[in-house]
Structure formats: structure tokens, C-alpha cells
Structure 1
């Protein structure tokens, strides 16, 4: 069914009702975040990301108001920008968060990270709105766009990480915005739309270097548009002349590390992006392997085992649908929807193929490629869109029955995912489409170590001593440090983080030690999510 037919059917809904439904959906997401943002722990990288923002804030202050900056009480304790190990990470998002802390006058770590979690969620809601707009554009109907947004929200791992992962879900939203502004510019090339696309591209690059992929996507699909639409060649070329210089200006302006040597420092950053500073082991298919020696199937397997089965099946059907439509490539590319489908496939599969071919280092599942997920869902909804209209046009009783069975299966699958998300809260990041026991044996568990917060709170709630000594694995000390950041000040003062040989309690989240601890005996407390143990507490003395 062509998208125009879908648009026609969608127009029967009054505009006011459509606004209420779409506004109500996103309003509910905001309210949901307000109710849940205090429930999540501090993730592994949160302190590092915040420090990177603080370091850059110091640098900016020294450039703009050096005397005022030097009078700040914490000035001397903040490292300098040059020499910091995270200069290859842009701060377009982290820097405003640091400024927000000052404006909101939050100083205690508990208030700081709760504020940041709320802002990250609201940012991801905005990214979900962008995905909604892309879906509405592709399928010619706000209802199909809203369905795409619903699937994104009902993606358990994305949902959880939208509260504490400042990098990947946030970047996903910025990258989706870059795709959205690209589509708008290609459809109607004006200098205003070229400017908005340059702003979106520059912002995405300044959030994560991977945003640079928007540049070849833009240039490549601009060439396709020039080929297929002679009527827009002049405005597309003229407005396109603004894109690269404006993008470069935005990238430099939004990334303080580039200010003194834009070209040299960006090339340095790009080179560091292609390699990983240190080696690290990860659990994959039941074995601990180096992140530098990952097999080619690492990303596809992780993607499918952490995504609801229904979405994966629909995605494959969507790819088959695109392949079937592209059998006559010239006729296919002559249509707006054919070119948009090609963009979606390139957006989704291009980075995965690049990772496989270049043997790039990734870890913690496929989180570095979360930015392809909106394209994954849009291709899945494409299949659903085709099946829906095939059912609507069916005349045989067998076709009608099959349609009702398919609809029932779809609704039941969504309900099952939603139920799992409620049951697993606040550990939706532990979602697997496999049985829990199998997933726990084959893959990394709580690699964000969020369960450390629950462990520390449980210990302090059950031990009333003025000082409570807690230890963990040598490489996991950050787990305890992150956990205590969300404790009330009085409870924080009671916690003593010590080596295991001096501890009363031993806490593990199995981050660097996936095996059991037989020497410590039976756990005093454990936390399981769908049959996977992610936290154990042992009493040592």
C-alpha cells in the first residue's frame, strides 16, 4: 500500500484529536520519567563523563573570564583540558549539564545525579519525538509514526539507559535529528533547511565522533536527489554549498578542545576514535575474549538477543520488502519512498558492515551502535505497514483470519514486553530475548553495575553499625564509589569502602568476575532479573 493512502486515512482524524493523542503520549513519557528517574543507579561511566564536562567548563571559563574562573573554590582541583584522557569525547551535551548544575545550585552528589538522570530522560523523550516525525514522514501518517515511537519506548534496554547513559541513547536522538533534517532538506532544499541540517550534523559530531557519518550520508543522498530530481538541482546545489562550512563551524564552536587547532586536533580525535586505548575482556557466547579479537558476528548477535523477538522478525521482513521493491532499481529510486528506504537501509546496515570489515573495537554489547536502532525500527514498521494493508485488502476468509491472528500476536507481544519491563524495573537493561539462564551464561550481565546501589543500600539498611566496611573486587571499586553517590549524606558517612580482607561484607556485580565465589560461602543477599543473578552480597566476618 503506498504511503499516500495511509496519509489519506490518517487525515480523517480531526487535527485537534491528533494533537491531543500525540501530545498526550509524549506528556505521559515526561510524567513517567518524573516518577522513575530516582530509581536508577549511577552507571559505570557517569562520573567520567561529568568530569569531562567540568574540565571543559574550566577551559571555557579560562578563555572567556579567566580572573573570575580563578576565584572559584574548586578551580585548582580541576585537571586541565590538555592532558586529559577524554579529550576525544565531545562535550556538546556534557558541558550544558555542568552549567545546569550551577544554575540549579545542586551540590550534593545525590542531587547532582538525580538531576542529570531526569535531564537525560527528557532529552531521550525529545529524541523519541524525532523518531515519531521520521515515522510519520515515511508512512504518511502520524499514527504509524506514533507506533514507531511506541516500539522505541517499549525497547527495554533503551528505556533503562535513557536515564543514565549520557552517550549512546542521547547520541541516537541527535543522529536521528540529523537524518530528519537531511530528509527535510532533500525534499525541499532551502538555505534555511541546509542551515538546520548543518546545525544537527555538527551537534551530533560534538556528542560522539561517529556523527561524522552524517556527512557522507548527506553528500551521497544529495547526489541521488540531483540525479532523480532535475527540478531541484539549482536550489539543492546552492544551499548545499553552505552545508560543509557551516557544519565545520558548528563542530569547532561546540567542542572546546578543537578551538586552538581545529584541523590537527580533529584528526587526532578521529584517529583515536578508530582504536581503543586499553585491552579488556568481555563475556561473549560463554567465553571471556578480548575486545580486540571479537568475531564478526558479535554485533548482530548482541542486537538480536537484546531486542524483542517480534521487532527482529519484522525487521528481517522489512529488509526482504526493501529487497523485493528494489528489484527494478531505477524505478525504485525514482520514488521518494524508495530513496527513503535506501537511506534507512544504509543508516542501519552501513555502520554494522563497517564495524565488521574494519574489525573495530566495541564492547558492552552493541551500545556504540544504538544510533542505528531508529532505522531498525522504521524498517520493522515498514513490514508491519505492508502486512496491515495486505490484510485490509484481503477478500478471502483465510486472509482475514490470518490478519486477526497476526494482530493478536502483535498486541500480545507488546503486552509481554511491557510486562517484562515492569517486572524487571529498574533493571530493564538486563533484558534478553533468550531464556534468563541461557543469557546469563553466554553474555555480559549488568555491565553498567547499576545493581551496586541496591547492594549498598541493602547492607546499610540491615546493619545499624556506625561504620560498615564493604569490599569488592579490585577492578570493581568504582561500583561502590558510584553506589554511595546516591546515598543520603548520613548514610554515605557510614559506608567504609575497604579491600576485601578488611571488609565485613563483600559485594559483587559480576562485572569483571563472571564466575561464582565458592570461598565466600552462601550469599547473604542476591538480586536476580529474569533468572540472571546480577548482584550478590556475602558476609565475611
Structure 2
């Protein structure tokens, strides 16, 4: 509640809002056509079948734009309300991770550790306020994995219905949610192998889950209403179609998204995840592999908790391997795979528990050197986590530009920085605070000037009225802003005199120049 107004408007937010209005118009025309035609708010909204991004799920945004239409307010007011709604859903996702950790690690305290690692992840925390696709999907996917684990533990009609609802919600935000029915059927089959006495219960639960899921998916996604099978196939087949000509700055050069190397997603995951979490994930992964090796795969899978961990590993590795193998289109880092991150923190929680138990054995004569090593590593990791928390506070509200271990100069030379454009809000606030003129000209380059327009709307009306958004080649004592998105290098002196820079971890994410 205290931080929600600190974040600007992300690049995708207007598009997501428009997508929801397009679906809202379609629903209104289907349910109350005469009333819908009399609504001036819907007059300029394009038709669903002619809209370029009609195949995007709108379940999260649809009720918000409906409320916005019923209770109009200043654009910034509704933007902040959407930010708050997104973060509250993230809180629900963090609760799901807490419950999953409690079930996997055997204690509510360890479950709280898993949820804590999720919240103390700088990029995820910041994007929870404004990333209506990837972090919303992360939260809904985590909730659906919780309902799946509960269904696998005790298959009942009520749990099957709840899991169908959670699965449909995830699919109706991003079509990638179709992974959930695949995981459900695959791991239900595994349970039937190792728990054949529950065969009738599983068959009954799945027999209810599948048709209810199909109905709920269609109900929550207006794009599917005319022809569910055809349009769902079209949505699944359209991944990346809107980014064919896009380029990203990766390893010091611009690369077409269709030509990105296989390591794009793993590298981004590594350099933006806090180092202590990567170390703990590796320890947890080693612990699982060691347990499976000692017991043997067959005997290891007979344990209920082993099958639960296998589900978590499939949650992490399946999408990552699939994206690499299918050469799926990615951009803006690894945000399209954020939904696998709860699996990372759950395995990291296991790694921390293994270290803790090794340290607790320090009093026994059998393994004091190993216990002392575990204790030293625990201290180092605790200091690393404290530094992550400190950086989240010190770099607020720019946690979305966090890099875990790379120096700022390397980041500037090799990777994208503020690809959301949110720092433009703080840039505009700085300009207005340091220039008392009643009209202040401000510009950005043509490819990023949309971030200027949308973040101007986030300012109070009086401040907004003082801004004059002008073309980048305009002269006359104004200001030029850059987020370095498609111009990562230094600017020539002709741009103006540099007067302000916002840095995160030593890397510049926004520059302000005073024009001559």
C-alpha cells in the first residue's frame, strides 16, 4: 500500500488495457447489444476479430476495465488501482508458494522461507506491481500447482473442481497455462502407478476435471466464444508472431528475436537471480539427485514426497527445455518464463534445509568438518541475502533493473536495462522539480517516446499540465530523456548537456539532457 504509487507505467500496460476493452466491447455486444451501442466509451474500441492482439488472455484486466468504465477517474488513479490489484494477486501467489513449501519441506517455517525468497527477489517484487502478464501468470500458476498437489494427495470432486478453476484462470491469462492440464494428467498417471488403490477416486476426479476445465476456459476467455477449438489452436500457434521484426540487445549486440541463441533465457535467469538463491538451488538439486541415486529411481519414486519434488522439477525444467528446444521467441529478458521461478525458490528452500541439517550435526563426532563447512556457507549465504534485501531498499523503485553480480559497466555494454521504461516517471519528476517554467518541453527518441506519453499520465494533473511533449529533434531549451533501449552507447554532445542520471547497481537506466 505504501509503495504502489512509486512505480511508473510499463510499456505493455496500455496494450493490455486496450485488449481488455476490446473483449469488454465484444462481451457487451453479445449480452446487451442495444445498451452497448449507446456507450460512448466503446465507440472507438476496435472489433475483437480485427484486433491484432485479440488472442491475448484478459481474465485479470477485464474486470478492472469494466470497473474503470463504470466509475471513471483520473488515468493515474486507475493505473495505481491496477498496480495494487496486481500486487495483491502476487500476495496470493506468495501464499501458494508458502503452502507448497510447507507441504514439501514438512514445516510452516520452511514454507515461509520459500515465500520469503520469492518476495525478496528484486525483479519479481517490482514487476508484481505492473507486469499484468508474466507475474500475474506466475501467481496463478503457483495457485494452480497448489491445487494440483492437493488433488494428487487426495482426489475428491471438490478438489478437482477447485483445480479446474485455478487451471482455467491461468490459461485465461496466458495460453502457456495449457502446461497445467498436461502436468495434471501426467502426474495423476504416476500416482495411479504407485497408488493403485486410489484408481477409482483418481478416474472420477479427472473425469470431472477435464470437462469443467474446458467449460471454464471458454467462459473466461471471450476470444474463444465463437469457435473454442479453432481459436484456442490459433492462440497457441501465435506465440511470438507480433515480435518478428523486433531486436534485443544481448551480449553487446542487437539480435533479432528470431535468431537468439539457445542460452538467452538461461543466461538472463542466472544474471538476474540473486547469487545465494542460485547456490541454494544447486544444493537442493544435488540433494534430490543424490537421494534418487542412493535409493534407485524406482524406490525413490515410491515415496510421496519424491513424486512431489519430481513435479516441482518438471515445473522448472519442462518449460525451460521446451523454450530452448522449440526455439520459442523471447525478448525483454526471461520474463516469459517467470512462472517457473516459484519452483526455483522451492528447490532453493530444500537446499537451505539440507545445509541447516548438516550444520545441526556439528555436535556429532561423525561429521564435524562437513558441519563446519555448512555453517560457514550458511553465514556467507545469510550475508548475501541481507545484501539482496538492502539493495531492494536502496534501489527502490528500480528493482526491476536488478542484476545480481555483474558490474554496472558490463551491464551497460552487454544487456538491456530499463526495457519497461518505468524510470521515465522519475525522470519527468526530476525535470519538473528542477525547472520552474510554466511550460517545459520534453522529448525522447521516436522508438521510445510512448513511454514518455504514458508516464506523463502518472503525474498529478498540475504537474502534467506543465509538460510539453515535443519531437526529439526540437530545439528550444527543453529536455531529452533516454532509457538506452535501442541506443545503449553514449550520446553525442549535440543532444545536450547531461544533467541527471538514474543508476541501478552502477548501470545507467535513465539519462536526462538539457537541450541547447
After TM superposition, the structure 1 stretch with the greater mean CA deviation from structure 2, 206-215 or 438-447, is: 438-447
The answer for the alignment partner of 2:328 in structure 1 is: 360
Counting only pairs closer than 5 Å after superposition, residues 511-526 of structure 1 correspond to structure 2 as: 511-518=485-492, 519-526=494-501
Return the alpha-carbon distance in structure 1 between the equivalents of residues 72 and 102 of structure 2. 39
Return the alpha-carbon distance in structure 1 between the equivalents of residues 353 and 421 of structure 2. 39
1:305-350 CA-partner distances (Å, limit 9, x unpaired)? 0011010011112222222222211101100111011111111011
1:62 to 25, 29, 48: 29
After TM superposition, the structure 1 stretch with the greater mean CA deviation from structure 2, 117-126 or 63-72, is: 63-72
DSSP-derived class of the 1:449 partner: coil
Return the alpha-carbon distance in structure 2 between the equivalents of residues 423 and 290 of structure 1. 34
- How far 1:206 sits from its partner (Å)? 0.3
Return the alpha-carbon distance in structure 1 between the equivalents of residues 452 and 370 of structure 2. 57
After TM superposition, the structure 1 stretch with the greater mean CA deviation from structure 2, 431-440 or 164-173, is: 431-440
After TM superposition, the structure 1 stretch with the greater mean CA deviation from structure 2, 270-279 or 229-238, is: 270-279
The answer for the alignment partner of 2:161 in structure 1 is: 195
1:222 to 188, 194, 197: 188
Return the alpha-carbon distance in structure 2 between the equivalents of residues 106 and 402 of structure 1. 60
The answer for the alignment partner of 2:127 in structure 1 is: 161
The answer for the alignment partner of 2:400 in structure 1 is: 429
- Is the 2:114–2:346 contact (alpha carbons within 8 Å) kept by the matching residues of 1? yes
1:538 to 509, 513, 516: 513
Counting only pairs closer than 5 Å after superposition, residues 70-149 of structure 1 correspond to structure 2 as: 70-102=37-69, 105-149=71-115
Counting only pairs closer than 5 Å after superposition, residues 222-301 of structure 1 correspond to structure 2 as: 222-273=188-239, 275-301=241-267
- Whether 2:354 is the aligned partner of 1:386: answer yes
1:91-120 CA-partner distances (Å, limit 9, x unpaired)? 1111011123345x2421111111111111
DSSP-derived class of the 1:89 partner: coil
After TM superposition, the structure 1 stretch with the greater mean CA deviation from structure 2, 457-466 or 137-146, is: 457-466
After TM superposition, the structure 1 stretch with the greater mean CA deviation from structure 2, 428-437 or 512-521, is: 512-521
DSSP-derived class of the 1:77 partner: coil
1:40-97 CA-partner distances (Å, limit 9, x unpaired)? 0100001111111111111111122222222222221222212111111111111011
1:427-452 CA-partner distances (Å, limit 9, x unpaired)? 00111112222222211001101111
The answer for the alignment partner of 2:342 in structure 1 is: 374
The answer for the alignment partner of 1:20 in structure 2 is: none
- How far 1:524 sits from its partner (Å)? 1.7
The answer for the alignment partner of 1:324 in structure 2 is: 290
1:456 to 425, 428, 435: 428
- Is the 1:527–1:536 contact (alpha carbons within 8 Å) kept by the matching residues of 2? yes
The answer for the alignment partner of 2:13 in structure 1 is: 46
- How far 1:145 sits from its partner (Å)? 0.3
Return the alpha-carbon distance in structure 2 between the equivalents of residues 532 and 334 of structure 1. 50
- How far 1:391 sits from its partner (Å)? 2.1
Return the alpha-carbon distance in structure 1 between the equivalents of residues 241 and 200 of structure 2. 41
After TM superposition, the structure 1 stretch with the greater mean CA deviation from structure 2, 224-233 or 511-520, is: 511-520
The answer for the alignment partner of 2:457 in structure 1 is: 485
- Normalising by structure 1, report the TM-score: 0.91
Counting only pairs closer than 5 Å after superposition, residues 28-43 of structure 1 correspond to structure 2 as: 34-43=1-10
Return the alpha-carbon distance in structure 2 between the equivalents of residues 220 and 274 of structure 1. 27
After TM superposition, the structure 1 stretch with the greater mean CA deviation from structure 2, 412-421 or 390-399, is: 390-399
1:439 to 374, 386, 411: 411
DSSP-derived class of the 1:475 partner: coil
Return the alpha-carbon distance in structure 1 between the equivalents of residues 486 and 18 of structure 2. 24
- How far 1:273 sits from its partner (Å)? 2.1
Return the alpha-carbon distance in structure 2 between the equivalents of residues 459 and 400 of structure 1. 55
Return the alpha-carbon distance in structure 1 between the equivalents of residues 15 and 372 of structure 2. 55
The answer for the alignment partner of 2:179 in structure 1 is: 213
Structure 1's 115 and 438: CA in aligned 2 closer, same or farther, altered over 3 A?
same
- Is the 1:88–1:273 contact (alpha carbons within 8 Å) kept by the matching residues of 2? no
Alpha carbon RMSD of aligned pairs, Å?
1.4
- Is the 1:285–1:443 contact (alpha carbons within 8 Å) kept by the matching residues of 2? yes
After TM superposition, the structure 1 stretch with the greater mean CA deviation from structure 2, 184-193 or 504-513, is: 504-513
Show structure 1 runs of 4+ deviating over 6 A: none
Return the alpha-carbon distance in structure 2 between the equivalents of residues 449 and 75 of structure 1. 28
- Whether 2:445 is the aligned partner of 1:473: answer yes
Return the alpha-carbon distance in structure 1 between the equivalents of residues 72 and 410 of structure 2. 43
Structure 1's 200 and 449: CA in aligned 2 closer, same or farther, altered over 3 A?
same
1:390-420 CA-partner distances (Å, limit 9, x unpaired)? 2223314434533432332232121110000
- Normalising by structure 2, report the TM-score: 0.95
DSSP-derived class of the 2:501 partner: strand
- Is the 2:76–2:457 contact (alpha carbons within 8 Å) kept by the matching residues of 1? yes
- How far 1:389 sits from its partner (Å)? 1.6
Return the alpha-carbon distance in structure 2 between the equivalents of residues 323 and 404 of structure 1. 22
DSSP-derived class of the 1:527 partner: strand
Return the alpha-carbon distance in structure 2 between the equivalents of residues 296 and 278 of structure 1. 17
Structure 1 stretches lacking a partner, 5+ long: 1-33
Return the alpha-carbon distance in structure 2 between the equivalents of residues 219 and 314 of structure 1. 30
Return the alpha-carbon distance in structure 1 between the equivalents of residues 236 and 216 of structure 2. 17
Structure 2 stretches lacking a partner, 5+ long: none
Aligned residues: 507
